[in-house]
Structure formats: C-alpha cells, structure tokens
Amino acid sequence: MAAHITYLSETTLQQKFGRNLQDREAVSYGFDADFQIESYLRHQGMTFVERFDANSYLYITRAMDYFDLAADHGGNLAAAFEGTKTRFCVMSFTSDWLFPTSESVQTVRALNAAGANVSFVEIESDKGHDAFLLDEPEMHATLDGFLKSAAQARGLFSAKGGQG
Amino acid sequence: MIDPKASAHGNLASSRIDLQLIANRVETGTKVLDIGCGDGALLDLLVSDRNVDARGLELSQKGVNACVARGLSVVQGNADTDLSYYPDNGFDTVILSQTLQATQKPLDVLSEMARIGERLIVSIPNFGHWRVRLDLLLNGRMPVTGALAASWYETANIHLCTLRDFTDLADQLGLRVESCITLSGGRAREIAGKPSARHNLLAQQGVFVLRR
C-alpha cells in the first residue's frame, strides 16, 4: 500500500479521492476504511498480495538498496559511463516522487561528464510515476524521435521521413 | 513563469540568418556543443549538412522536448550553472547563438566554453548599432528594435553589449578573435579579426569565431 502511493501523485490522489467517504455518511472513528482512499489502497494491497509472493518484494527492495553504481567506480558515477558508445535518453515526469527529476539530472550530469551521447527531457504531468504507462503524447513524441535517430545512427533507418 | 531563454529566442526568431553562417563555419565530422539551442534549428543543420556529432543544452522544457522529438541529442539545463559538468576539451567547437546576453554571468559562461572546447562561435545582437544609439539619444528611453523587441522590464536580454564590448571581454579572457561576421539588413560581411568602430555602428548582429 505504501509503495502504491509512490506510483501516483499528490494531485492524482487529491482529484480522485480527496476526503471522500467510503459507502457511509459520516466517519466511524474506528479502524475500518472510512475514506475512499483507504479502501482503494487496501484493495490494491490485497491484489498485490494475491498476485505476488511478499518475499519477492523483500528481495527486490534489498537489491535496490544494495545497488550503488557510483560505489563500484570509486564513488564517481561518471566513471561508470567512461568510453560508452551507447546513446542515452533520460526522461522524468514533473510529479514523479519515486524517481524525481533532481535524481535524473544527476545521472545526466554524470553522462555529460563522461562525454556520452545523452538526451534529457522532463515531461509535465500530474500522473506521477505511473505516467510512463499512460498516454502521454509528449513522452511518445520524444521516444519516437530518439529511437528513430538512434536507428538512423546505426544505419537501420535511412530516410528522415515519417516524423511528421 | 517567464522562460528567459525561450523569449530570448522568440525576440530574435525573425533574424536567425546567423544560423546558416555559423553552420558554415563548423568543420564536417567534428564534435559540437550548442548552448541555448532553442528548438534545435542549428543542430539539425549541423547534423544533416555537416555530419557533425552535435549535442545541445537548452533551458526551456518546450525547446528540449522539440529537439529530442526530432532526433537531436539535447539536455535540459542552464548555461549559467550546468557547463561545469562538461569535461575539459570534450568538444571541438562550442556554440552560443543569441544567448550570451540572456545569461546571468557572461564572463563565466565564456570561460567555461573555452574550457570545454578550443574553438568558440558566439553570436550576439549589437547594442552599438546606430539605430539603438539614435533611439536612446532621441527618445531617452531604452531602445526597442526588431532584434530586441521586448521592453526593458520584460526582456530576457539582461546583459546586452556592443561588438566592441564583446571583443574587449574576449581579450580579457585571452581568447583570440579569428573572424567576425557582421549582419545588417539581412546582409552578411566577413571581417578577418576584430570589427572596427564603423562595423560597430552599422552591424545589427555579430558572429564571432574565437580560439583560445
């Protein structure tokens, strides 16, 4: 339930649920789901528990906690990208509080310091982290341009047309 | 929110003939950084015409997204604060077109550019143009011209200078002026070395090629 909040944004939660009550006229002062948001998060929590083994979440979160790319390169993130031939495109969403823009910027700066070919866009959206799963025209346009130019650079896509 | 770099470009949109002139002065197959690349018009020109490994830095989110959507390698960032993250000699040529006057610290921006690349191409609107001078003399108000269309209180161009001011600053930074192209009424003229007092009076824009 806690994790699920990080996939959404404050605006989305506020718009969707606010302080709306769940199937009742007044709060009950008990530990039942008085608010719609409580009911929604409980439902999402139950769905997750049914779909996944809770242990897998423990392992994934531990793996994320232990992952430190900079530490593997003497604390210098740029060193991790030294000599790379890969083209990078970093995207962030303004309302994403799971992977905020400030952290994407750090990655981009490290890539620049390593002389990597990098593009970086921040896309305006109130949908939070989940925006990348939704219909965000600007994200699709960016991705389309990036993939086409990467393909072109590799000689996989000769004509410059089809971008209109 | 007012986006200073976007409106700096907007002001000068009708007079961007400097772009082709800049592109002509970039050697084919080299590595180029364009600071304040706007919607990517110059980068596009460099990539398609001169087979350049071109990268851009742009402040406005709209500009960056437009650039990446057209397949250019552009990063959102600020010329005043983000140049320090680029490596020494990371590029052959570093370009700043119609952006210097919109930066907070032009001197720092130029010295960072000289650290990143050996060769710089900088285009600026000339505040020494006779119409600007005459406008101030006769009206006693901050000049508003075709190239500098915004009023003093809303302009993004906070550090305007003349061609002479610019070459003085280049001297101070130990940058040699290789050539200068002056633009006036849509006509370009190339000068070897620094522009004269006459050029400073007649040019609406100057495109400088500098070497450290």
At residue A153, the pLDDT reads 84
For residue A82, is it within any domain? yes
**B13 has a chain A CB within 8 A of its CB:** no
Residues A34 and A53 in one domain: yes
Residues A133 and A85 in one domain: yes
Three-state DSSP at B37 gives coil
Q: What is the pTM of this model?
A: 0.83
Residues A51 and A117 in one domain: no
For residue A46, is it within any domain? yes
**DSSP class of B66:** H
Q: How far apart are the first and last CA of chain B?
A: 37
Residues A58 and A9 in one domain: yes
Exposure string for B177-212, b = 16+ CB within 10 A, e = fewer: bebbbbbbeeebeebeebbeeebbbbbbbbbbbbee
Residues A27 and A98 in one domain: no
State whether A120 and B86 contact (CB < 8 Å): no
Show which of A64, A84, A108 is a domain's final residue: A64
For residue A39, is it within any domain? yes
At residue A54, the pLDDT reads 86
Sort out which chain B residues have CB atoms less than 8 A from A121's CB and list them. 61, 64-65, 68, 76
- Residue A40 belongs to domain spanning: 2-64
The DSSP secondary structure of chain A, one letter per residue, reads -HHHHHHS-HHHHHHHTTT-BSS-SS--SSSS--BHHHHHHHHHHHHHHHHS-HHHHHHHHHHHHH--TTGGGTT-HHHHTTT---EEEEEEETT-SSS-HHHHHHHHHHHHHTT-EEEEEEE--SSGGGGGGS--HHHHHHHHHHHHHHHHHTTS-----S--
For residue A45, is it within any domain? yes
Q: Domain with A29 in it: what CATH number?
A: 1.10.1740.110
Chosen for mutation from A107, A111, A119, A142 (greatest number of chain B CBs closer than 10 Å) is A119
DSSP run (H or E) holding B56: strand B53-58
For residue A48, is it within any domain? yes
At residue B144, the pLDDT reads 82
Q: Describe the strand order of the beta sheet including A87-93 as a list of residue ranges.
A: A87-93, A117-123, B73-76, B53-58, B31-35, B91-97, B117-125, B205-211, B176-184, B187-192
Residues A28 and A94 in one domain: no
Residue for token digits 């400030």?
A: A102
Residues A78 and A123 in one domain: yes
State whether B75 and A120 contact (CB < 8 Å): yes
Residues A59 and A81 in one domain: no
Three-state DSSP at B188 gives strand
Show which of A45, A64, A83 is a domain's final residue: A64
Find the helix packing angle between B106-116 and B163-172, rounded to 10°.
60
**DSSP class of B126:** B
Quote the minimal CA–CA distance from A60 to chain B in Å: 31
Q: How many domains does chain A have?
A: 2
Residues A32 and A12 in one domain: yes
At residue B186, the pLDDT reads 82
DSSP run (H or E) holding B33: strand B31-35
For residue A158, is it within any domain? no
For residue A163, is it within any domain? no
Tokens of B4: 């200073």
Q: Which of B110, B130, B122 is nearest to B174 (CA)?
A: B110
Residues A80 and A15 in one domain: no
Residue A97 and residue A69 in contact, taking contact as beta carbons nearer than 8 Å: no
**Reported ipTM:** 0.79
Residues A81 and A132 in one domain: yes
For residue A159, is it within any domain? no
Between A5-9, A62-66, A98-102, the lowest mean confidence (pLDDT) is in A5-9
Show which of A64, A84, A109 is a domain's final residue: A64
pLDDT (tens place) for every residue of chain B, 212 residues total: 333 343 444 334 444 677 888 999 999 999 999 999 999 999 999 998 899 999 999 999 899 999 999 999 999 999 999 999 999 999 999 999 889 999 999 999 999 999 999 999 999 999 999 999 999 999 999 888 776 788 899 998 999 999 999 999 999 999 999 999 999 988 889 999 899 999 999 999 999 999 99
Residues A94 and A148 in one domain: yes
**B173 has a chain A CB within 8 A of its CB:** no
Residues of chain A above pLDDT 70, percent? 96
Chosen for mutation from B85, B91, B92, B115 (greatest number of chain A CBs closer than 10 Å) is B85
Sort out which chain B residues have CB atoms less than 8 A from A152's CB and list them. 71
List of residues 6+ apart from B2 with CB closer than 8 A: B154, B156
Sort out which chain A residues have CB atoms less than 8 A from B32's CB and list them. none
State whether B75 and A118 contact (CB < 8 Å): yes
Local confidence band at A3 (pLDDT 50, 70, 90 cut-offs): confident
Q: Which residues, listed in sequence order, are joined to residue B11 by a DSSP beta bridge?
A: none
Sort out which chain B residues have CB atoms less than 8 A from A108's CB and list them. 75, 77
